[in-house]
Structure 1
């Protein structure tokens, strides 16, 4: 018996209770809700022979980007393959999972988009494609995918608010900041628990250097992200970035302790929030104290993961922050092996931009700033492919610029700083203003006669 889900898509589920749990799972996933695995578990209890349920479980595990979660994804895929595949949509979920396990997110996206081209009102597949494109840094593809789905999401479509939130983020990542802010606000008005849309507007404030406006936007809207899984830590991270930009460094560090790292998880996304914020604070001269130690303890166990270069680079921030030389050497050796093999998409990103970026971080941690600058500059043109957002990758941009300043390579650092501002639509933030002053001061010291001319 075929029923239809909350997005009016066919599901080969005969049990109405199972359909209700599928619907609840889909809506929770779109909201980054903590209840997502709860509903998924109930779905699989009610319909253990539902291949698509196992496939979605596998995709969720694959997106966690850790070696042990890939083992769970592999197990889920094996179960799905032993069961009837269902309809075209359900078959595509299994195919996408197989592609992810083959370390080819691009092929997973193709599988999902093949169905979306025929049923663009399928918000679940849209969000999965969106998530996978985020992992590989494909902002233009993310935007094109969402915009193909927009006409099929009428005002009364159950997924419209979540689609608008995805559109807001895609618009921001492709530099259309005014449209992104409008879409994000519309998303939250339509669906008050759309944390992704709310956070997309926070990204706009980051990219346009409007920290006061960003704080105003987030304040009083905490309910939109408090229901989230660990994504809520990321929204608090955005608030900390705004405090940092305003020079409220003690408040940013206090938010790190109270919210961002309130739970000592080893999820790479949580570690990336933590390491990138501590790195930014350290660049501003803040004493981090013991905080690197906890993160480095976790990162030491991840040197052989090799699931995502984005994760590996943030593990390296922790390792270099705490001076774990042996673990740094293991990470770089493994990256070198992956780069030499380059047998799949993940390996290719380990090679470029991964290896140069990792060497740059190693040298930065050792205080070898000219070498750090050289390697980070070499990685810079391909850093989009490391995945994540502009705001997340900006920690590497800042370290590149700071390495250049510390190495006395002022003209080159100034050029990258100017390029960073152009990439942000010409908007200057507190970091850019402070570094311009540093460069001007350093140039005066280096060439006092020309400075007075």
Structure 2
């Protein structure tokens, strides 16, 4: 019987289809270009291969091609009737994700992994900054990701994909030395692995080793296909190192060359959140002339995220629409309030208060921004994403403190961050806070 790379049986009589499927899964797990073509070839070799169909459906979903994703998921369900129990369960879990049933998917995935711990694709959907745990609304998702990795670690050993995510999970849980060492090990095991490069970039960022992060990515990225869906986000990481060094023009050039929404081949959630967050950071740092970029990003957000519901997109929607003065933010806040009233807003009030705090800040109401952002930061983890992504709201609060003449509060916030990691930007803000207090 044909098997996947983790020695799990595949219901296909075609060795070529199985080989293409293994290639597709490896591309997905390494965030490498080529998964779509690999799954398409697997389906061409064996049109009845359920797992190839659900793998392709998942890629359609990531690219926000909802109709295609749901149609292929439905087809995979039909084809799985003749597959093994493991494959049937795998298809159902992936279909639940595609059909926007995250709670069903999480419960089913956890049970599935107890029986089939080496089903790496199922484990993968729980992990990462955009995984089911991160977007569950729970405040302890970083700990949950590490816990499930450790629970199943004995089944993976030195597997390149697993070591990648174990390392990143340690990093996001605050175990920076362990996370960096594991991420470096994952890169040794497979250098053509954007997920490992991503995890290592986070470890370097969290340790304040900005020079190492920039050097690593500058050397590694030229070999990374620009069609791969993490390429733009890795460029965003390079831009963060430029911002920390005070190179605003360099960071803006990276935005214009790699991130701004102009026919990029990356998932819309990456394009939108990376673009809005980098422009906001540039604005906080004093960069001017960003208005055309803000209009582009706001239009992109309204096109791909026209309704409230994807809460990580919603809080970034607030960044773009607050800066363009669009009425769309009023409409989005009303939608968020309605979802909160119905108990459907997973991060709860935190998402709403973050949006309102951003709006107040953009309007020059620093006292209002402080009033809204201070309590919301306690629940900041509930919006998902990574530490590096969520830091934007803390940055905004610090600048609001400084502009409101509350240098003592800014100094305390900055001091806590500097205890965590060195940062040229935070050191500059610390000096500004000291001047603020003296005056």
Tell me whether the two structures share a fold, i.e. TM-score over 0.5.
Answer: yes
SS in 2 for 1:348: coil
Taking structure 1 as reference, are residues 189 and 230 closer, same or farther at Cα in structure 2, changes over 3 Å only? same
> 1:262-341 to 2 correspondence within 5 Å?
263-265=262-264, 267-289=268-290, 290-302=292-304, 304-324=306-326, 326-341=327-342
Does the 8 Å CA contact 1:240/1:256 hold for their aligned counterparts?
yes
Does the 8 Å CA contact 2:171/2:179 hold for their aligned counterparts?
yes
Q: Deviations over 1:176-231 (max 9, x none)?
A: 11111111111111101111111211112211222112122223112453365231
2:80 aligned residue: 84
Shifted more, 386-395 versus 220-229: the winner is 220-229
1:451 aligned residue: none
- How many aligned residue pairs are there? 429
* Structure 2 unpaired stretches of 5+: none
CA distance in structure 1 between the aligned counterparts of 2:133 and 2:206, rounded to whole angstroms:
20
1:396 aligned residue: 393
Q: Deviations over 1:348-399 (max 9, x none)?
A: 22x3321111111111121111111211222212211111100011111111
1:115 to 97, 112, 116: 112
Taking structure 1 as reference, are residues 102 and 356 closer, same or farther at Cα in structure 2, changes over 3 Å only? farther
1:133 aligned residue: 133
Q: Deviations over 1:72-98 (max 9, x none)?
A: 333233323333342232222233234
> 1:10-29 to 2 correspondence within 5 Å?
10-29=9-28
SS in 2 for 1:359: helix
The answer to whether structure 1 residue 93 and structure 2 residue 90 are counterparts is yes
Does the 8 Å CA contact 2:245/2:425 hold for their aligned counterparts?
no
Taking structure 1 as reference, are residues 102 and 385 closer, same or farther at Cα in structure 2, changes over 3 Å only? farther
2:238 aligned residue: 239
1:46 aligned residue: 45
Taking structure 1 as reference, are residues 321 and 389 closer, same or farther at Cα in structure 2, changes over 3 Å only? same
Shifted more, 145-154 versus 290-299: the winner is 145-154
Taking structure 1 as reference, are residues 272 and 253 closer, same or farther at Cα in structure 2, changes over 3 Å only? same
> 1:101-250 to 2 correspondence within 5 Å?
103-130=100-127, 131-136=131-136, 138-155=141-158, 160-223=159-222, 225-226=224-225, 229-250=228-249
CA distance in structure 2 between the aligned counterparts of 1:70 and 1:184, rounded to whole angstroms:
33
Shift of 1:419: 4.0
Q: Deviations over 1:99-144 (max 9, x none)?
A: 3356442431332232322333333322223233344472112112
Shift of 1:35: 0.9
TM-score by length of 1: 0.88
Shift of 1:428: 2.7
TM-score by length of 2: 0.90
1:348 to 346, 357, 363: 346
Shifted more, 113-122 versus 282-291: the winner is 113-122
Taking structure 1 as reference, are residues 305 and 72 closer, same or farther at Cα in structure 2, changes over 3 Å only? farther
Does the 8 Å CA contact 2:86/2:116 hold for their aligned counterparts?
no
CA distance in structure 1 between the aligned counterparts of 2:73 and 2:274, rounded to whole angstroms:
30
Shift of 1:435: 1.8
Does the 8 Å CA contact 1:208/1:429 hold for their aligned counterparts?
no
2:364 aligned residue: 367
Does the 8 Å CA contact 1:236/1:259 hold for their aligned counterparts?
yes
Taking structure 1 as reference, are residues 364 and 113 closer, same or farther at Cα in structure 2, changes over 3 Å only? same
CA distance in structure 2 between the aligned counterparts of 1:198 and 1:274, rounded to whole angstroms:
20
Shift of 1:279: 0.8
Does the 8 Å CA contact 1:282/1:288 hold for their aligned counterparts?
no
2:433 aligned residue: 439
* Structure 1 unpaired stretches of 5+: 446-453
CA distance in structure 1 between the aligned counterparts of 2:426 and 2:113, rounded to whole angstroms:
41
Shift of 1:168: 1.4
CA distance in structure 1 between the aligned counterparts of 2:284 and 2:80, rounded to whole angstroms:
55
